[in-house]
Chain A
Amino acid sequence: EVQLVESGGGLIQPGGSLRLSCAASGFTVSNNYMSWVRQAPGKGLEWVSLIYSGGSTYYADSVKGRFTISRDNSKNTLFLQMNSLRAEDTAVYYCARGTDIVPTDYWGQGTLVTVTS
């Protein structure tokens, strides 16, 4: 059974840093496309970042240069390093698995990041 469990969210001041983790089971992270998607309170879904099985990474313009997606193959875990956080980064962050025919077929339960002074 495919499972994704995010962790690492919390309360952080503007300008601070946070690292989110997404522990995967039931499949191999490095063999799939993995994404981070966020949802601000009461708002819609926003794609944040993507890492392909080959290691190529992509970012939404809103986070480019501040966020870094990575993975630890030995731990079968996906990460999102978030630096220079802003109030507008406040959201529930979901990790999601994808394949070459489906961008995001399985989603985690999400972790809440709140950026506030």
Chain B
Amino acid sequence: SYELTQPPSVSVSPGQTASITCSGDKLGNKNACWYQQKPGQSPVLVIYQDNRRPSGIPERFSGSNSGNTATLTISGTQAVDEADYYCQAWDTSLYVFGTGTKVTVL
């Protein structure tokens, strides 16, 4: 079965850049998305099609996907960005979520 691996946690200072990686076999050949989930809330889509932002998502969120790694980058991180982040890869018959990364804004 297909697996996506993320670091369990990432710490970042306010105003700095946070990068979250997502690793999977030939992930660059699939579509990648990223979701933000805050405690007690449903996930929210922040990146789709590797690097596109839904309306309403701040420009500080960006994404890339190449080779075996997709990356979510949060530039100028704010306290409100503290949350769990999940990557997702999908194709015709398979949706897979990453293991999740807790982003802490110190």
Contact = CB atoms under 8 A, between A and B. Distances in A.
Interface of A: 35, 37, 44-47, 50, 58, 61, 94, 101-105, 107-110
A107 B43 contact: yes
Contacts, number: 55
Contact of B42 (A35, A47, A101, A107): A107
Contacts of A101: 31, 48-49
B48 A47 contact: no
B88 interface: yes
A35 to B, nearest CB: 7
Given A102-B33, A105-B54, A45 B1 contact: no
Given A45-B97, A105-B45, 10 more contacts: A44-B97, A45-B35, A45-B37, A46-B97, A47-B96, A47-B97, A94-B42, A102-B45, A104-B95, A105-B54
Given A44-B99, A45-B97, A47-B96, A103 B42 contact: no
Contacts of A105: 45, 48, 54
B5 to A, nearest CB: 11
Contact of A50 (B88, B95, B98): B95
Contacts of B31: 101, 103
A47 B95 contact: yes
6 contacts: A44-B84, A44-B99, A45-B88, A47-B97, A104-B35, A105-B45
Interface residues of B, number: 24
Nearest to A92: B42
B63 interface: no
A4 B100 CA distance: 24
Nearest to A35: B95
Interface string B1-18: 100000000000000000
B61 interface: no
